[in-house]
């Protein structure tokens, strides 16, 4: 008899906790966003450009491999299907449209969440447990301005750029598979690819990348600030930041596609 009431209460308190945390994260995001006007002040800019560099360079190798193979898999998968109808030439558009609209921002988002997002959560988490955040607060240095804002700007700028890079490589990967496995010449592939992909696809994809950049920074920084219990806590925060980012990216990616295409 006691058990259901107990779990209901626990569920209730977990929902409340979730709402509380989300509110907290939103407040942090809004405050950091309001500080974006200082981004070009000398010191903020140093930090921001360093974060941009880290974001852009750190994951470039992984992104390159993942993008190429994503395009290759897409081409092979759809190509084999299309060949049954003798329509292989359409892999160009199949790959380019799904890369630009869906897979480009999605793959980039996952990689950045796993590499840069986790690093942000670990760094801010470590700072939280070693009292560095407390020290900033005592010095009246707002961590949302000092730490969150530069990372937010860096990710929001770099995510679309990296997504374009992912798109280009993915489409190239598709062309390689088309030429070597499916007998579609690069010329024909490219013609087809450019013919069907619209500007709208590009804008929607970049909009997703922009949103994912916000999501990754917000989740990672928030998890960092919520860290408790020393090194173990930092591990937990890092893992949670990656998982939560993945989930939010999936759901929001779907919702944005629905919003613009249904």
Partner 1 sequence: MIRFENITKVLGGKTVLDNISFEVSAGETFVIVGLSGAGKSVTLKHMIRLMLPDSGNVVVDGEPINHIGRTALQTVRTKFGVLFQSAALLQWMTVKDNVALPLREHTKMDEEEIGRLVAEKLRLLNLSDAGDKFPADLSGGMQKRVGLARAIIMSPQIVLYDEPTSGLDPVTSRRIDDLIVNMRRELGITSVVVTHDLHSALSIGSRIMMLHEGKIVENATPEEFIRSKDETVKSFLESQYITKKGKWETGLSHE
Site of interaction with partner 1 (CB under 8 A)? 43, 126-127, 130-132, 134-135, 137-141
Give burial (CB, 10 Å; 0-12/13-18/19+) of 179.
middle
Q: In angstroms, rounded to a whole number, what is the distance separating the alpha carbons of residues 217 and 117?
A: 6
Element (H, E) at 162: helix 149-181
**Closer residue to partner 1 (CB): 132 or 191:** 132
Distance of closest approach, residue 123 Cβ to partner 1, in angstroms: 8
Distance of closest approach, residue 121 Cβ to partner 1, in angstroms: 16
Distance of closest approach, residue 124 Cβ to partner 1, in angstroms: 12
Q: In angstroms, rounded to a whole number, what is the distance separating the alpha carbons of residues 145 and 127?
A: 15
Check if the beta carbon of residue 41 is closer than 8 Å to that of residue 149: no
What backbone torsions phi and psi does residue 243 show, to the nearest 5 degrees? Answer: -65, -50
Mind giving me the DSSP string for 12-77?
Answer: HHHHHHHHHHHHHHHHHHHHHHHGGGGTTSHHHHHHHHHHHHHHHHHTHHHHHHHHHHHHHHHHHH
**Closer residue to partner 1 (CB): 135 or 243:** 135
Distance of closest approach, residue 4 Cβ to partner 1, in angstroms: 26
Check if the beta carbon of residue 52 is closer than 8 Å to that of residue 154: yes
Check if the beta carbon of residue 68 is closer than 8 Å to that of residue 99: no
For 64-100, letters b (16+ CB in 10 Å) and e give: eebbbebbbbbbbebbeebeeeeebbbbbbbbbbbbb
Distance of closest approach, residue 131 Cβ to partner 1, in angstroms: 4
**Closer residue to partner 1 (CB): 15 or 50:** 50
Distance of closest approach, residue 50 Cβ to partner 1, in angstroms: 9
Distance of closest approach, residue 212 Cβ to partner 1, in angstroms: 26
**Closer residue to partner 1 (CB): 42 or 258:** 42
**Closer residue to partner 1 (CB): 81 or 131:** 131
**Closer residue to partner 1 (CB): 8 or 135:** 135
**Closer residue to partner 1 (CB): 146 or 207:** 146
């Amino acid at each position: 008899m006691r058990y259901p009431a107990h779990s209901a209460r626990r569920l209730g308190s977990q929902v409340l906790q979730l709402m509380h945390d989300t509110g907290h994260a939103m407040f942090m995001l809004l405050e950091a966003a309001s500080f974006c006007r200082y981004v070009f002040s000398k010191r903020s800019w140093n930090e921001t450009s360093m974060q941009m560099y880290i974001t852009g360079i750190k994951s470039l190798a992984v992104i390159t491999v993942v993008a190429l193979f994503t395009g290759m898999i897409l081409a092979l998968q759809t190509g084999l299907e299309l060949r049954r109808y003798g329509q292989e030439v359409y892999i160009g558009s199949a790959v380019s449209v799904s890369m630009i609209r869906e897979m480009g921002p999605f793959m980039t988002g996952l990689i950045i969440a796993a590499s840069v997002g986790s690093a942000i959560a670990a760094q801010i988490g470590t700072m939280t447990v070693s009292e560095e955040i407390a020290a900033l607060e005592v010095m009246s240095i707002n961590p949302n301005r000092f730490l969150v804002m530069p990372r937010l700007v860096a990710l929001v700028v770099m995510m679309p750029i990296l997504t374009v890079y992912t798109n280009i490589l993915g489409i190239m990967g598709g062309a390689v598979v088309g030429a070597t496995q499916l007998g579609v010449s690069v010329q024909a592939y490219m013609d087809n690819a450019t013919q069907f992909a619209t500007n709208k696809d590009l804008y929607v994809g970049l909009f997703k990348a922009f949103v994912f950049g916000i999501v990754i920074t917000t989740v990672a920084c928030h998890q960092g600030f919520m860290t408790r219990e020393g090194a173990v806590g930092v591990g937990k925060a890092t893992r949670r930041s990656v998982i939560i980012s993945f989930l939010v990216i999936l759901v929001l990616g779907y919702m944005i596609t629905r919003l613009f295409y249904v």
